[in-house]
Amino acid sequence: MLSPEQIAELRSLDLDDLELYPSEKCNPCAILRVCPTCYGLNDKVRGKLSGRDLKIASLTKAFISNELVFHVDSQPPERFQ
């Protein structure tokens, strides 16, 4: 159950503006805009909206890298490795 203060805080968040939740580790990543995340889970488990699960990010990179190699038939760019 959320307190009235927590409800007010949640209502004040602009979840459409992803730039408000930068992640130091994710910002330079080439797939930042397509990498899945759950901001609610990030906040609950890691204490901040930008606290992405880096295991999911690694799996997403591997999947995209594999797709690039499969479709282009070449080595993936270095930033995907």
Per-residue pLDDT of the chain (81 residues; tens, 9 = 90+): 778 887 887 788 776 765 556 677 787 888 877 888 887 788 788 877 777 888 888 888 888 887 776 665 556 566 655
Number of structural domains in the chain: 1
Specify if 26 maps to a domain. yes
Specify if 45 maps to a domain. yes
Is the pTM higher than 0.75? The answer reads no
Write out the two tokens for 24.
């130091």
**Half-sphere exposure of residue 42, counting CA atoms within 13 Å on the CB side?**
16
Specify if 3 maps to a domain. no
Q: Domain limits at 50?
A: 21-80
Query: Which of these, 67, 58, 20, lies nearest to 36 by C-alpha position?
Result: 58
Specify if 61 maps to a domain. yes
Widest CA span of the chain, in angstroms? 55
Specify if 5 maps to a domain. no
